[in-house]
């Protein structure tokens, strides 16, 4: 969660800017888009914190959708919408105590919630679904905040995936958004299972890619972007041959192969800083818009094309366009992967520097701690929901 806030704040100042139109960004700078000082996170982190706080603080009497439960914490769509509304209207869990930016689809969903909030929960959610389920509303606003679902429920992938879809439905009920969120939380849950439990078989990025490639997509656009082509022969069992097989056939690894390395410049990629070891692909090759498919693919590209948390974060924010959100989405998944390594690998000098100037870091850490306590209770079977 802290990593999400860091990269969100890092990328915020170059949001809306075209790729290669700004100097290579590697340190926190003021966000002139909204007249904010350096280190200020955006709506991505605020909504993530609202979701985390809802999961960990829900109490009897606040439950709008599920049966009442005397135990603290749990999943409830109406409570999530309530906290999102408090953020929008009062700046709850904002870095600057006000909502200075909000996506159009989220804004619309919260307006519908306000209009219908005295109706039964199912009617509220039905109104949002009826109004916003068209594919044209497939922005990245639910994916950018979804991380706490995995952090709370990773022990049970099936439950985590189901809650991911339901969490997206509160503001982004399009089938594309639901499926991206479900896949994303499934992938992070798998990472946490494999990196926190002892006596596991080695788990590589190729294993994670195989999970993403074999996910049971129903949306054609997602399948075309993230799954293997149909009618391929089975993957080889030999590790080296298997890796080569994925690079030859998987669309994401094909793109990485095209846009990194000796032949990259012929595909519109560009080295933007002499000390940065990777190419930044052209916007034509790797869009970084607020469209959820573009955001998910861009974040995954940054993860699979680089070898450290810092390098992937730098790549994500230097894509421009929806840079803060691409960075936030990347950071949630990547930090779960890299944080299991030695502190010197994850907490590089530069990342520590980002942490040192992050505004209201104590708020992020406090809510993360609340969620950690709830996750322990879930893991120990003390929660029924």
Whether 24 contacts 318, CB under 8 Å:
yes
pLDDT tens for each residue of 154-212: 999 999 999 999 999 999 999 999 999 999 999 999 999 998 876 667 899 999 999 99
Q: Distance (Å, rounded) from C-alpha 212 to C-alpha 289?
A: 21
Q: How far is the C-alpha of 139 from the C-alpha of 126, rounded, in Å?
A: 19
Q: In the CATH hierarchy, which fold is given to the domain comprising 2-27+40-379?
A: ADP-ribosylglycohydrolase fold (1.10.4080)
Rg (CA), the chain: 20
Helix, coil or strand: residue 260 = coil
What single string gives the DSSP state of each residue in 2-16? Answer: HHHHHHHHHHGGGTT
Length of the chain: 385
pLDDT tens-digit map of 218-258 = 999 999 999 999 889 888 888 889 999 999 999 999 999 99
Residue 276 tokens read as 């940065």
What are the tens digits of pLDDT across the range 48-57?
A: 999 999 999 9
Percent of the chain's residues with pLDDT above 90 = 84
User: Do 218 and 174 form a contact (C-beta atoms < 8 A)?
Assistant: no
pLDDT, tens only, 5-55: 999 999 999 999 999 999 999 999 999 999 999 999 999 999 999 999 999
C-alpha 302 chain-centroid distance? 12
Q: How far is the C-alpha of 305 from the C-alpha of 14, rounded, in Å? A: 21
Phi then psi dihedrals of residue 138, to 5 deg: -90, 60
Residue 63 has pLDDT above 80, yes or no: no
Give the 3-state secondary structure of residue 122: helix
**Looking at residue 199, what is its pLDDT?**
63
Percent of the chain topping pLDDT 70: 95
| Cβ neighbours around 72 below 10 Å, total | 15
| pTM (two decimals) | 0.95
List pLDDT tens digits, range 326-365.
999 999 999 999 987 776 789 999 999 999 999 999 999 9
Please determine, for residue 267, whether its predicted confidence score (pLDDT) is greater than 80. Answer: no
Tell me: the pLDDT tens digits for 293-326?
999 999 999 999 999 999 999 999 999 999 999 9
Contact 73, 37 (CB under 8 A): no
């Amino acid at each position: 969660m802290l990593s999400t806030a860091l990269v969100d704040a890092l990328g915020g100042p170059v949001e809306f800017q075209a790729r290669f139109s700004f100097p290579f960004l590697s340190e926190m700078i003021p966000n002139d888009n909204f007249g904010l000082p350096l280190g200020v996170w955006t709506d991505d982190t605020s909504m993530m914190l609202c979701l985390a706080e809802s999961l960990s603080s829900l109490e009897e009497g606040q439950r709008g959708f599920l049966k009442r439960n005397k135990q603290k914490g749990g999943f409830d769509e109406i409570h999530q919408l309530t906290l999102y509304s408090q953020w929008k209207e009062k700046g709850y869990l904002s870095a600057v105590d006000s909502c200075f930016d909000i996506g159009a689809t989220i804004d619309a969903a919260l307006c519908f919630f306000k209009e219908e909030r005295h109706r039964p929960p199912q009617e509220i959610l039905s109104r949002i679904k009826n109004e916003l389920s068209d594919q044209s509303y497939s922005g990245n606003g639910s994916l950018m905040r979804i991380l706490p679902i995995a952090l709370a429920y990773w022990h049970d992938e099936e439950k985590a995936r189901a809650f991911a879809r339901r969490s997206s439905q509160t503001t982004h009920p399009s089938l594309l958004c639901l499926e991206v969120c479900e896949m994303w939380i499934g992938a992070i849950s798998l990472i946490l299972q494999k990196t926190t439990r002892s006596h596991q078989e080695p788990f590589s990025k190729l294993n994670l890619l195989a999970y993403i490639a074999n996910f049971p997509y129903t949306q054609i656009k997602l399948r075309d972007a993230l799954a293997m082509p149909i009618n391929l022969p089975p993957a080889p069992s030999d590790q080296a041959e298997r890796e080569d097989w994925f690079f030859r056939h998987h669309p994401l690894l094909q793109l990485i192969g095209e846009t990194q390395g000796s032949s990259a410049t012929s595909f519109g990629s560009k080295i933007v800083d002499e000390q940065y070891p990777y190419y930044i692909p052209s916007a034509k090759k790797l869009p970084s818009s607020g469209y959820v498919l573009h955001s998910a693919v861009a974040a995954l590209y940054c993860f699979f094309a680089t070898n450290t948390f810092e390098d992937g974060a730098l790549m994500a924010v230097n894509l421009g366009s929806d840079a803060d959100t691409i960075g936030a989405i990347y950071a949630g998944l990547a930090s779960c992967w890299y944080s299991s390594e030695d502190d010197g690998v994850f907490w590089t000098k530069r990342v520590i520097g980002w942490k040192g100037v992050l505004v209201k870091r104590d708020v992020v850490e406090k809510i993360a701690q609340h969620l950690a306590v709830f996750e322990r209770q879930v893991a120990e079977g003390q929660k029924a929901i």
